[in-house]
Structure 1
Amino acid sequence: MTKTPVIAIPMGDPAGIGPEITVGALAKADVYNAGKPVVIGNTAIMEKAARIIGADVAINEISSIDEAQYQYGTIDVLSLNNVDLDSFTFGEVQAQCGQAAFEYIEKAVSLANEGLADVIATTPINKESLKAADVPHIGHTEMLAAMTDTEDPLTMFEVKNMRIFFLTRHLSLKDAIDQMTKERVLDYLKRCDAALQRLGVSSRKFAVAGLNPHSGENGLFGMEEVDEIRPGIDLAVEAGIDAVGPVPADSVFHQALQGKYDAVLSLYHDQGHIAAKMTDFEKTISITNGLPFLRTSVDHGTAFDIAGKGIASSVSMEECIKLSAKYAPHFTGK
């Protein structure tokens, strides 16, 4: 019998839409019942969020995860009570909110490391708020890497039946091209294959996206494919990885959606992000692999401009929670 996973959900930046989309998602029976959700956050702000969106749920404050009820209609909140409500405002950068968001994540990681949570499903945090709080990390991935002593976490997007990995992330395009070496292509294809194995995926055919138009047309439009990308793929194939390419980037993602490939290795940030978000912006979910535990995340920000107004869509958070429940029973660890 498959174990129902405990899903730790850090509330995110209290001033953002995190509380609202968390309540909105957990107010839906199919989402709530996908696992055993526990929110790490602030009881009063979660209650505010429930009132703002008109959700018919009760907020159950708990002091330890053992007290969670896991009953649809009640949202268990492991409350850290680390926000001064007298000075709190929705939609503004506040140091206390940056610090609070960091502490929610820290607690979620602690639960996962202790085996009390099976997966972490994260909500948006704000880089300016983190900076105002002197938190020494720019985002979730960097925090999680530091908290788990993970050198280079691997990011995967999933939307519909398409999975996308990233050879490079937050670099200028010029610097990203410098990272497109045959050694890196080989290393990442090995890591991507291992990542899908950890998620319980048995069929693992990879396509590597091309960099230049038509994948360079054998050197007519650039030599990157000839000198580095294709040789890296060839080395991966020799190592037993089922990989092809480089496949022109204007068609590879469509082909993956049609089921031709199980995953695509995108060469740079926007190449894969555009493909995923044009497919379905709200249902594009990020999975961080290479950690000791599974982590899924929405792929949007705190949306301070609409926070506290009750108009934020919870669709992405719903998908985030359901995807965490889908993979958690098969996840085999770092």
Structure 2
Amino acid sequence: MSPSAIRPVILSMGDPAGIGPEIVAKAFRERPDLLRQVLVAGDVPTLQRALRITAPDAGAGGLMLAQIETLADLPVVPPGCMAVVQACTLDGPVSLGQVDARAGRAAADCIRFAALSALRQEARAVVTAPIHKEALAQAGVLHPGHTELLQALAAEHAGLPVSAMPVRMMLSSTDLRTVLVSIHISLRLAIDAVTTAQVLQTIEITHAYFQRLGTANARIAVAGLNPHAGEGGLFGREEIEVIAPAVSMARSAGIGASGPHAPDTVFMRALQGEFDVVVAMYHDQGLIPVKLLGLDYGVNTTLGLPFVRTSPDHGTAFDLAGTGRASAASLLAALDAAMDATAP
């Protein structure tokens, strides 16, 4: 492929008041091979501040910033430079470690730039640094997180209602992957969201993603909702009346799904190699085991979008913002996952 034909990964900088810009800078310092493959959608002054924070010695790291106007300019960026497109507007710096509506708006604008670049086939994948949900809300963004915002942008671009663009969140550590039936809703509402249609759709989206990666028939373990997967109806009937029918329909369609399995042991069984992925019924059921096993290397992948999107499996860490101590390990894992998923 000629330099002019390079389709980069687009990396949105995240909330400018959090650690996102700092781990972006650290990622390029630790992996200079990424400089020719990844373009940052962000705010130039914010990222320049991040470079200073992460390398206060002017000579440290040898990394500089190069602002470019379009993605097509990436091949001419000088060696040793992090390529940045000004994808948002900030009227001055935001205070580090504080919720700020301006930061929320800037983060959302960077996400929009990255997503539209991928939807127009100008980028091969999108990787997103952490955002702050409260800052998004203060900025008037109607979507509570990355997943929902990207879903809405993709649906709008395709001329579809959001309901016609179903997506799911997959969290991965080094040895465990889990996909969630529901995401950012209360636990009470999450239980109501466990329907046969939703569980079946989650299984189907998971199966399609693994097929895209080259796994023809992934071993998909479906967790139960209740203790001991309901214990034959003693502790709840959702497994019998809702989840088992979804698994049966998936199997009838040739999908390698099994369950419902007891939630307290299914993740251990997956970790031991019995399953490729676990479908969890709600947010914390799936995320606690993944984060316990490897928060530093966790990756969040959005399934169901027309492009690959990954992110680190942690938040904005306001308590670390400005210290230069935040680790870029999870972001690097997300970048590697995005490039692996889109490798020719």
Instruction: Decide: shared fold, TM above 0.5.
Output: yes
Give the 3 Å change call, closer, same or farther, for CA 178–318 of structure 1 in structure 2.
same
**Which letter does structure 2 place at the counterpart of 1:214?**
H
Paired position in structure 1 for 2:120: 114
Q: Distance in 1 between matches of 2:134 and 2:199?
A: 33
Give the 3 Å change call, closer, same or farther, for CA 137–174 of structure 1 in structure 2.
closer
Paired position in structure 2 for 1:221: 235
Paired position in structure 1 for 2:96: 90
1:272 partnered with 2:300: no
SS at match of 2:315: coil
List gaps (5 residues or longer) in structure 1: none
Q: What's the TM-score once normalised by structure 2's chain length?
A: 0.88
Deviation at 1:282, TM superposition (A): 1.7
**Which letter does structure 2 place at the counterpart of 1:286?**
N
Q: Distance in 2 between matches of 1:72 and 1:243?
A: 48
Q: Distance in 1 between matches of 2:308 and 2:315?
A: 21
SS at match of 2:343: helix
Paired position in structure 1 for 2:213: 199
* Larger relative contact order, structure 1 or 2 (CA cutoff 8 Å, min sep 6): 1
Deviation at 1:31, TM superposition (A): 6.2
- 8 Å CA contact 2:154, 2:306 repeated in 1: yes
Paired position in structure 1 for 2:340: 326
Q: Which residues of 2 match residues 205-284 of structure 1 at below 5 A?
A: 205-284=219-298
Give the 3 Å change call, closer, same or farther, for CA 237–315 of structure 1 in structure 2.
same
- 8 Å CA contact 1:43, 1:81 repeated in 2: no
Paired position in structure 2 for 1:51: 52
Q: Which residues of 2 match residues 35-50 of structure 1 at below 5 A?
A: 36-50=37-51
1:289 partnered with 2:290: no
Note the alpha carbon deviations across 1:216-263, whole angstroms, 9 max, x for none. 221232222222222221221112111111111122112112221111
Q: Distance in 2 between matches of 1:315 and 1:205?
A: 28
Note the alpha carbon deviations across 1:25-69, whole angstroms, 9 max, x for none. 111237627x71000112222121111111430111111112114
- 8 Å CA contact 1:5, 1:325 repeated in 2: no
Which of 20, 23, 33 does residue 21 from structure 1 map onto? 23
Q: Distance in 2 between matches of 1:45 and 1:183?
A: 44
Which of 71, 82, 90 does residue 75 from structure 1 map onto? 82
1:141 partnered with 2:147: yes
Q: What's the TM-score once normalised by structure 1's chain length?
A: 0.91
- 8 Å CA contact 2:170, 2:300 repeated in 1: yes
Note the alpha carbon deviations across 1:118-168, whole angstroms, 9 max, x for none. 100001112222233222322212211121114332211121132211112
1:298 partnered with 2:304: no
Deviation at 1:296, TM superposition (A): 0.3
Deviation at 1:305, TM superposition (A): 2.0
1:103 partnered with 2:109: yes
Deviation at 1:91, TM superposition (A): 1.8
Once the two structures are overlaid, the 10-residue window that deviates more, 102-111 or 187-196, is: 187-196
Deviation at 1:83, TM superposition (A): 1.7
SS at match of 1:278: helix
Which of 135, 141, 160 does residue 174 from structure 2 map onto? 160
**Which letter does structure 2 place at the counterpart of 1:9?**
L
- 8 Å CA contact 1:32, 1:72 repeated in 2: no
**Which letter does structure 2 place at the counterpart of 1:136?**
L
SS at match of 1:75: strand
Deviation at 1:314, TM superposition (A): 1.1
Q: Distance in 1 between matches of 2:120 and 2:228?
A: 49
Which of 297, 321, 326 does residue 312 from structure 1 map onto? 326
Paired position in structure 2 for 1:8: 10
Q: Percent identity?
A: 38
| Off by >3 Å, runs of 4+ in structure 1 | 69-72
- 8 Å CA contact 2:295, 2:314 repeated in 1: no
SS at match of 1:197: helix
**Which letter does structure 2 place at the counterpart of 1:44?**
P
Deviation at 1:102, TM superposition (A): 1.4
- 8 Å CA contact 1:256, 1:263 repeated in 2: yes
- 8 Å CA contact 2:88, 2:110 repeated in 1: no
- 8 Å CA contact 1:31, 1:318 repeated in 2: no
